[in-house]
Amino acid sequence: MAVTKTHPIKSTLKAAIDYICDPAKTDGKLLVSSFGCTAETADIEFAWTRRNAIDKGTNLGRHLIQAFEPGEVLPEEAHEIGMQLAKEVLGCKYEFVLTTHIDKNHVHNHLIFNAVSFEDYKHYRSNRQSYHEIRRVSDRLCKEHGLSVVIPGQDKGKSYVGHQTAKSGTSYKSKLKAAIDRLIPASADFEDLLRHLQSEGYEIKRGKCISFRATEQERFTRLKTLGEDYTEEAIAARIAGKARPSKQPKQRDERISLLIDIQNSIKAQESAGFAHWAKVNNLKQAAKTINFLTEHGIDSYEELEERLSTLTKQKDAALASIKEIETKAAELSLVMKYAETYRKLKPVYNSYRQSRDKEKFLRGHESDIILFEAAARELKKMNAIPIPTTENIKVEMVTLVAKKKALFTEYKQFKNEAKEHEVIKTNVDAILDEPTQQAYKREIEVVS
């Protein structure tokens, strides 16, 4: 489980970068990486990019922390997850420094990135939507690496300590939810529930959003932050005897789903009602599976396997091409950044080289000289000498974006079709299994 939180850096950028790069915390700086800059000169490079921005904003950068469950992930894997998160969320448009700290009982990543993009010089917009995107990407990466994740819709924005206290049932939110659940059966309406909560020591603040504060609690807790079952409307409905919003029946899904393994289902063994529903559902899904095979002209198991294999290869090939384009686009963005820096600072560097008192000249232009030498070094490393023009890079970027868009459409189609055929194959395997087949025959006889 990875917990994320983010905050702006307004005045202490260099100090913040120095802190996250502390050798004692990063295994002698082995767990320090960067993109679009070097960790040692990141603050200077951030400032150079911001200098070109029209909308500089008030922030020098942003600091993102990604904390993992104790003992769940190795530092190297955590660092890899952090790098994937940074590149995906920031789109390879912002300079950043990523470090992994191992000095606490839980491994955690620190990501400091520029408040302004070096690609288009636009300011990073931090809001609820951008934070939720960070959470979604972080959770997805954790799943891909076999790690636990925070359940969507629950405990949003909590710190690691907040999650731990919620798990043990000691957080103020947990206690408030438990109190509401306990008092609902004894309440005549919503106002009656509020009176009960007041009698138990809760302070209530009315306004656009009703809020509660327990004894010794520092801040009020807004009702709507407890989840969809705890809004004012949801609580009123629950008092009236209606089902919780989270328990409302979902719209009927016409897609083919996997057959349920009834024999090995603990829920089916414990609930006769669920077992009956699962049997009927399996019959319906088996019928849908057969109809799918007929409609798509699949006459043999071998043909089904071949189609699934072809779709999987097409999906993987499209994804690989997308990754190649993303890598190429990121490289072009860096070439453009360093090329512009090189051109702008070349006159300063030439003056420095021609100066008779280089030490005096350096004292007045140290940052510019450092940036120029870094740009020259990176361009040489990327084999971008002679330096391409900005216009040529932009034309190539437009071409890459168009190719990626077309490939992504193909990838989504192949992915959906492969997933559908995988479900069909799994169901066919279950149908062809002799014990299951006999069970289906007996069930059909009972139904008929």
Write the pLDDT tens digit of every residue in 7-55: 999 989 999 999 999 999 999 999 999 999 999 999 999 999 998 887 7
pLDDT in tens, 382-394: 999 899 998 999 9
Q: Which residues pair with 434 in a beta bridge?
A: none
Q: Which range, of 54-58, 169-173, 202-206, averages the lowest pLDDT?
A: 169-173
Q: What is the mean pLDDT of residues 184-202?
A: 92
Round to whole Å and give the CA distance between 191 and 187: 8
Q: Identify the pLDDT of residue 295.
A: 93
Cα separations in angstroms, 178 against 209, 211, 214, 388: 20, 16, 13, 64
114 neighbors 49 (Cβ within 8 angstroms): yes
Q: Identify the pLDDT of residue 24.
A: 95
Place of tokens 């076999």: 146
For the chain, first and last CA: distance in Å? 49
Measured in residues, the chain has a length of 448
Written as one string, the DSSP assignment of 344-401 is HHHHHHHHHHH-S-HHHHHHHHHHHHHHHHHHHHHHHHTT--SPPPHHHHHHHHHHHH
Q: Identify the pLDDT of residue 342.
A: 95
Q: What share of the chain is helix, strand, coil (3-state, %, to 5)?
A: 60, 10, 30
User: Is the pTM higher than 0.85?
Assistant: no
Q: Identify the pLDDT of residue 168.
A: 47
- Give the whole-number percent of the chain exceeding pLDDT 70: 90
243 neighbors 234 (Cβ within 8 angstroms): no
> At residue 211, what are phi and psi to the nearest 5 degrees?
-130, 160
Is pLDDT of 439 > 70?
no
Q: Which range, of 111-115, 261-265, 366-370, averages the lowest pLDDT?
A: 261-265
Token pair in block for residue 414:
């192949």
pLDDT in tens, 286-319: 999 999 999 999 999 999 999 999 999 999 999 9
Place of tokens 């198991």: 301
242 or 253, higher pLDDT: 242
Q: Identify the pLDDT of residue 169.
A: 46
pLDDT in tens, 351-390: 999 999 999 999 899 999 999 999 999 999 999 989 999 8
Residue 308's closest CA among 427, 414, 408, 432? Answer: 414
Q: Identify the pLDDT of residue 445.
A: 55
Q: Identify the pLDDT of residue 434.
A: 52
Q: Is the peptide bond prior to 386 cis by the omega test (within 30 degrees of 0)?
A: yes
Q: How confident is residue 172, by pLDDT bands cut at 50, 70 and 90?
A: confident
Q: Identify the pLDDT of residue 245.
A: 76
In 3-state terms, what secondary structure has residue 110? strand
Neighbours of 118 (CB within 10 A): 26
- How would you class 361 by CB atoms within 10 Å of its CB: exposed for 0-12, middle for 13-18, buried for 19 or more? middle
